[in-house]
Amino acid sequence: TSPLQNLTQLQGLSITYNQIEDISPLAANTELLALDISNNPINTGILDLNTLTRASVIRSENNGDVLCLTYAQLLLALGPVVLFDQCRLF
């Protein structure tokens, strides 16, 4: 298991400016109300965050390696809580 999976009661988490590529372990943290994963080289796991239905905001700025379609799917699942500023078309 990942250390990020063991924080199941956490309500807020900021892991900006790290080298995190896969954020799928965060999907287990369903109590999160706020998540900031900005400025990481994320390429896997964005769509797994659809389990964070209690979240008020998920910041994912400057993670430009994520497909725009993936962000769109997450927005459809969670509503307008996801903030991002760049994505890949293909």
pLDDT-based confidence at residue 5 (cuts at 50, 70, 90): low
Q: pLDDT tens-digit profile of 21-51?
A: 999 999 999 999 999 999 999 989 999 999 9
How far is residue 27's CA from residue 9's CA, in Å, rounded to a whole number? Answer: 12
Q: Would you identify the CATH topology of the domain 3-83?
A: 3.80.10
- Residue 44's φ and ψ, nearest 5 degrees, are -145, 140
| pLDDT above 90 coverage of the chain, percent | 64
Residues for the chain: how many in total?
A: 90
Contact 24, 1 (CB under 8 A): no
Where do we find the tokens 């497909």?
A: 67
Tell me the H-state helices in 19-86.
68-78
* pTM across the whole model: 0.85
Domain ranges of the chain: 3-83
Give 2's pLDDT tier (boundaries 50, 70, 90): low
